[in-house]
C-alpha cells in the first residue's frame, strides 16, 4: 500500500482535543488506509480490523467513535451507497503524494470532487481502467497494460527506469500490492505463493515496484483475484518462460 504522511500538526489539532485517545487512533488509521482518492470502507468491522486489532472494542463502540469523528472533524465524511458505508477524507491530498494515481474502487460521495490547496492536480474526471495516471507534479503518463500483456508470445513490458527489486524487497512489494489491488490481505497460502513468486522473479533478474503493482491491478481489472494470474502477467511482461506454478 502507498505510504501516507501523518504530520505533527495532527496531534496539536484543536479538533483532536475533543475526541478520546481511541478516537485519535482511529483517525490515524483512517488516514493511513485511505486510497488515492481519500476513500476507504467505513463499516465498523473493517475499521476495527485496521485500528484496534489488539484491543477489545465492540462494533457499536467503533461505530460511535467513527460517528463522533465525523461530527467534530469536517474533513471526515461518512456516507452510504447501496447500503454499504464509506469514509471520504475531503482534504486527503495533504496526507499523500502518490507517484502514480490509481482511481478509487469505491463509489464517489455526494459533492465530489472537493477542492483543496495542494500542489497536485485535482482530478475532476477519474481515469478509467489503466489509461491515465497522475503524478505528484500533475503530469500524466499513459499506461496500456493490455497492449503489453501478450499471453501467447510472452513479450516483455517496456523497460522501466526504476531499479528492479529482488529478494526480501521484492516479496515486500508483492505483499504490499496484494491488498492495495485486491482489497483484502493475503491468507497464509497466498503468502506462500507470493514468497515463491518472489524467488522465481528474483532468480530471473527481479522486477520494479511499478511492474509488481500494475500486475496486481491488471489482475483486478480482469477480475482474476489470484496470485497465479499475477504470476502469468509478470512472466509475460518480463519475458520469463512459464513453468508450472
Same domain, 15 and 124: yes
How many CA atoms within 13 Å lie on the side-chain side of 144? 4
**Same domain as 22, residue 128:** yes
Domains held by the chain: number: 2
17 and 113 part of one domain? yes
With respect to residue 213, please indicate whether it lies within any of the assigned structural domains: yes
Tell me the per-residue pLDDT of 205-231, one tens digit each, with 9 for 90 and over: 999 998 999 999 888 888 888 999 999
Contacts of 180 (CB under 8 A, 6+ apart): 1, 2, 102, 213, 216
Each residue of 160-191: pLDDT tens digit?
Answer: 456 788 899 999 999 999 999 888 899 999 99
**Residue 172 domain-assigned?**
yes
Whether the predicted model's global pTM rises above the 0.75 cut:
no
For residues 37 and 121, state if they share a domain.
Answer: yes
Shared domain for 18 and 81, answered yes or no, is yes
Confidence tier at 151 by pLDDT (50, 70, 90): very low
Residues 13 and 120 placed together within one structural domain of the fold: yes
Q: Is position 141 within any domain?
A: no
Where in the sequence is the domain holding 109, given as residue range(s)?
Answer: 9-134
| pLDDT number for residue 149 | 43
Measure CA 127 to chain center: 16
197, 100: one domain:
no
Kindly state whether residue 1 falls inside one of the protein's structural domains. no
Q: How far is 245 from 242, CA to CA, in rounded Å? A: 8
In a domain, 244, yes or no: no
23-46 tens-digit pLDDT: 999 999 998 888 888 899 999 999
For residues 153 and 222, state if they share a domain: yes
Q: Tell whether 226 and 119 lie within a shared domain.
A: no
- Are 165 and 230 found together in one domain? yes
pLDDT at residue number 8: 77
Residues 122 and 200 in one domain: no
CATH number at residue 28: 1.10.10
Cα dihedral 168/169/170/172 (nearest 10):
80
In this structure, the answer to whether residues 70 and 121 fall within a common structural domain is yes
Within-domain flag for 155: yes
Amino acid at each position: 500500500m502507498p505510504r501516507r504522511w501523518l504530520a505533527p500538526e495532527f496531534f496539536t489539532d484543536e479538533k483532536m482535543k475533543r475526541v478520546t485517545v481511541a478516537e485519535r487512533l482511529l483517525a490515524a488509521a483512517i488516514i493511513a488506509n485511505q486510497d488515492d482518492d481519500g476513500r476507504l470502507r467505513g463499516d465498523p468491522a473493517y475499521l476495527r480490523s485496521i485500528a484496534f486489532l489488539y484491543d477489545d472494542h465492540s462494533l457499536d463502540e467503533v461505530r460511535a467513535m467513527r460517528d463522533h469523528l465525523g461530527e467534530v472533524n469536517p474533513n471526515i465524511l461518512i456516507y452510504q451507497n447501496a447500503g454499504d458505508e464509506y469514509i471520504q477524507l475531503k482534504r486527503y491530498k495533504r496526507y499523500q503524494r502518490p507517484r502514480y494515481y490509481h482511481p478509487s474502487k469505491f463509489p464517489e460521495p455526494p459533492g465530489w470532487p472537493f477542492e483543496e490547496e495542494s500542489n497536485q492536480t485535482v482530478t475532476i474526471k477519474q481515469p478509467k481502467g489503466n489509461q491515465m495516471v497522475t503524478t505528484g507534479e500533475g503530469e500524466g503518463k499513459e499506461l496500456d497494460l493490455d497492449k503489453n500483456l501478450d499471453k501467447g508470445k510472452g513479450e516483455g513490458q517496456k523497460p522501466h527506469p526504476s531499479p528492479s527489486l529482488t529478494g526480501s524487497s521484492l516479496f515486500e512489494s508483492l505483499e504490499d500490492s496484494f491488498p492495495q489491488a485486491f482489497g483484502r490481505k493475503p491468507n497464509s497460502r497466498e503468502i506462500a505463493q507470493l514468497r515463491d513468486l518472489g524467488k522465481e522473479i528474483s532468480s530471473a533478474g527481479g522486477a520494479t515496484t511499478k511492474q509488481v503493482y500494475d500486475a496486481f491491478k491488471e489482475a483486478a481489472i480482469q477480475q482474476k483475484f489470484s496470485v497465479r494470474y499475477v504470476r502469468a502477467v509478470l512472466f509475460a511482461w518480463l519475458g520469463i518462460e512459464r513453468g508450472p506454478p
